[in-house]
Amino acid sequence: MDKTLNHGRDAAAALALDRSGAVPAGATAELERLLTIMARLRDPEGGCPWDIEQSFASIAPYTIEEAHEVADAITREAWDELPGELGDLLLQVVFHARIAEEAGMFDFTAVAKAVADKMLSRHPHVFGDVGPLTAEEQSRAWEELKAAERGGARARVLDGVALGLPALSRALKLQNRAARVGFDWPSTDEVLDKIVEEAAELVEARDTMGPEELADEFGDLMFVMVNLGRHLGLDAEACLRGTNAKFTRRFNRIEDDLAALGRSPAQSDLAEMDALWDRAKAAERAAKG
């Protein structure tokens, strides 16, 4: 373990620079321009009042929102929108770094250096003299390196899983961490049995318990569903995003069909909308061949 950690920076740096692709022309200049713009926006004399008032806490929700918009553009394969969305996300990094610089904490250079150093140290099989690794070996080594960075053997297995992640994504990360130390069901059969058990407990809570117990049991069922997805090689967050998109498409089709009849969903009834839903579903399947 110590040998792996010692590889990342000094000896690896030369190899990294020799073998990496060239920095895109103009990238450095554009980044410097963005940093200058942010400094101007935050200038107490003549800057933007809104930008000046912001803090780490106030812009954190925007940072999360911009990350989701990047993911949305990728999901929709909106490649013409992706540069702009990535730029919006980069702006959030620059914004946080500027606030920190003004407070004397760190600056953008420290941010870039920290992540560059991390990439070098966590890829000794690329930048150091550790032999080639399989994807599985690399995943395990990555987690070991992260654990060492968090404090070695004294760190808890689940330390560092961000609280701000979407709940489904965080559940998946927690389960992956636990599974890497052997706390996992051996197959999907046991997970399916657990789903049946948790569903029965949810029904019992609905019938006999209060809202807190009901919420607790519902959360347990969702957590096990995430685990089933993990065993099937599926990301619950991505699956639910896909289903959300599918629901939106089909409901929009219902709305369009009703509009052609001169009515809105509020002027329809469940039976009619169910029939239109089935028609939208059949049309999608037919389009897929």
pLDDT digits (tens, 9 = 90+) for 49-76: 999 999 999 999 899 889 989 988 998 8
The structure tokens 């953008």 sit at 108
Residues 141 and 113 placed together within one structural domain of the fold = yes
Give domain status of residue 206, yes or no. Answer: yes
Residues 218 and 248 placed together within one structural domain of the fold = no
The C-alpha angle 247, 248, 250, rounded to 5 degrees, equals 65
Give domain status of residue 89, yes or no. Answer: yes
Q: Please say which residue of 93, 123, 152 terminates a domain.
A: 152
Domain of 220, in residue numbers: 167-234
Residues 131 and 24 placed together within one structural domain of the fold = yes
Give domain status of residue 157, yes or no. Answer: no
278 close to 272: Cβ distance less than 8 angstroms: no
Give domain status of residue 90, yes or no. Answer: yes
Give domain status of residue 224, yes or no. Answer: yes
Residues 85 and 225 placed together within one structural domain of the fold = no
pLDDT at 142: 66
**Cα–Cα distance measured from residue 195 to residue 221, given in angstroms and rounded to the nearest whole number:** 6
pLDDT at 7: 41
Residues 35 and 99 placed together within one structural domain of the fold = yes
How many domains is the chain partitioned into structurally? 3
**Cα–Cα distance measured from residue 185 to residue 132, given in angstroms and rounded to the nearest whole number:** 30
Residues 244 and 184 placed together within one structural domain of the fold = no
pLDDT digits (tens, 9 = 90+) for 6-48: 444 454 444 444 555 567 778 899 999 999 999 999 999 999 9
pLDDT at 76: 85
pLDDT at 121: 82
SS3 for the chain is CHHHHCCCCHHHHHHHHHHCCCCCCCHHHHHHHHHHHHHHHCCCCCCCHHHHHCCHHHHHHHHHHHHHHHHHHHHCCCCCCHHHHHHHHHHHHHHHHHHHHHCCCCCHHHHHHHHHHHHHHCCHHHHCCCCCCCHHHHHHHHHHHHHHHHCHHHCCCCCCCCCCCCHHHHHHHHHHHHHHCCCCCCCHHHHHHHHHHHHHHHHHHHHHCCHHHHHHHHHHHHHHHHHHHHHCCCCHHHHHHHHHHHHHHHHHHHHHHHHHCCCCHHHCCHHHHHHHHHHHHHHHHHHHC
Q: Please say which residue of 152, 185, 219 terminates a domain.
A: 152
Residue 65 token pair: 């929102």
Residues 29 and 75 placed together within one structural domain of the fold = yes
Domain of 197: which CATH number?
1.10.287.1080
Residues 226 and 148 placed together within one structural domain of the fold = no
Give domain status of residue 158, yes or no. Answer: no
Please name the amino acid found at residue 8.
G
pLDDT at 21: 59
pTM > 0.75: no
* Residue ranges of the chain with per-residue pLDDT less than 50: 1-9, 11-17
On the CB side of 106, CA atoms within 13 Å amount to 11
Give domain status of residue 117, yes or no. Answer: yes
Residues 133 and 176 placed together within one structural domain of the fold = no
- Classify the C-alpha dihedral 272-275-277-283 as positive or negative: negative
Please name the amino acid found at residue 116.
A
Give domain status of residue 61, yes or no. Answer: yes
Residues 42 and 137 placed together within one structural domain of the fold = yes
